[in-house]
């Protein structure tokens, strides 16, 4: 089911299938795949803003807990970009995660790819 999120064009602040940024992709995943609305929790509008703690504030105040256990589909990844924890991804399976990039759009990437494996800051799992 997550496959329908692959190929969405990257659009800054986008929250639709016509275009989404990383936070928009997460919102679409939870709303359309898991049927859970997180728009009230993921209220930040620019994770690349001057306060990278916004992303952790949003996760801490939603129904997510940081986890170190084995990866599960749907876990959220916080990824460093330009040295800051300012990018989101979604665990697809134990080998790939879904995320979006400018000029590429949403796609699957390998955890073990040198571009990503050292930049994954933390993993978060939804709680009940």
User: From residue 28, how far is each of 17, 52, 53, 73 by CA, in Å?
Assistant: 8, 22, 22, 15
The pLDDT of residue 59 = 64
Cα separation, 16 vs 12, in Å, equals 11
The pLDDT of residue 38 = 59
Domain count of the fold of the chain: 1
Show the DSSP H helices in the chain as ranges.
22-28, 53-60
The pLDDT of residue 109 = 96
Domain enclosing residue 51, as ranges: 2-126
For residue 98, the domain's CATH number is: 3.90.1720.10
Query: Mind listing the pLDDT tens digit of every residue in the chain (128 residues)?
Result: 788 999 999 999 898 999 999 888 988 988 888 887 655 444 444 444 444 455 655 666 667 788 888 889 989 898 988 888 888 999 999 899 999 999 999 999 999 898 888 999 889 888 76
């Amino acid at each position: 089911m997550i496959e329908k999120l692959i190929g969405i064009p990257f659009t800054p602040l986008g929250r639709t299938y016509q275009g989404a940024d990383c936070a928009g992709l997460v919102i679409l995943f939870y709303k359309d795949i898991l049927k859970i609305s997180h728009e009230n929790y993921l209220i930040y509008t620019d994770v690349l803003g001057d306060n990278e703690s916004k992303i952790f504030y949003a996760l801490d105040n939603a129904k997510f807990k940081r986890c170190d256990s084995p990866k599960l589909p749907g876990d959220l990844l916080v990824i460093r970009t330009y040295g800051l924890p300012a990018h989101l991804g979604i665990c697809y399976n134990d080998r790939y995660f879904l995320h979006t990039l400018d000029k590429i759009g949403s796609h699957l990437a390998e955890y073990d790819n040198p571009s990503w494996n050292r930049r994954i800051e933390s993993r978060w799992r939804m709680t009940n």
